[in-house]
Amino acid sequence: MKSVYSLFILTFLIKAVLSSCPDGWLTHGQECYHFSHDAEPYLLARSACQLLKGSLVVIETAEENAFITSQIQNLQSGSYWMDLNDLQEEGSWLWQATGTAPEYTNWMPGEPNNTGNDENCALIYKGGKWNDGHCTTVSRYICEHTDESAQIVG
């Protein structure tokens, strides 16, 4: 049992040393994630992530959505901004950072529904489901950037 514990500690220490994610960011795969403690409207959340040298999170797979969901389960906020919006054209949802349509989505049933003709920015909720919301709503946010140490060169 002692050797299993020692192996666990060694693995943790190696991963911590090799990760180039800043303090306060979590590593998952080749990405670093920052779960904000403050709340901002969508555009200010985007700016905050850019100041942190990242962008609002772009969720590309069910596995990534599950990781993010597992992290926000114990946090205080019920919803977090992500990078998805239809600000340029109603109903045409694009990841702002890349200008591409999502290949993976996890909308709540009946969403996005553009309630009040003014829901253009996407949020992820504690249960991992997505919803369109008013971009001026104040919410926490998730920033993301690539963990440079995880990149394979060659």
16 pLDDT above the threshold of 50: no
Contact indicator for 124, 4 with CB cutoff of 8 Å:
no
Please give the model's pTM, rounded to 2 decimal places.
0.83
Contact indicator for 55, 83 with CB cutoff of 8 Å:
yes
| Proportion of the chain above pLDDT 70, given as a percent | 83
23 pLDDT above the threshold of 60: yes
Provide the token pair at 145.
Answer: 């950037």
Cα–Cα distance for residue pair 137/41, rounded to 1 Å: 5
Contact indicator for 56, 144 with CB cutoff of 8 Å:
yes
What is the tens place of the pLDDT at every residue in 130-144?
Answer: 999 999 999 999 999
As for how many domains the chain has, the answer is 1
Q: Looking at residue 93, which CATH number applies to its domain?
A: 3.10.100.10
Going from the C-alpha of 8 to that of each of 21, 28, 152, the distances in angstroms are 20, 17, 24
The model's confidence at residue 19, banded by pLDDT at 50, 70 and 90, is: low
Cα–Cα distance for residue pair 70/95, rounded to 1 Å: 22
- Residue 109 is part of which domain span? 2-150
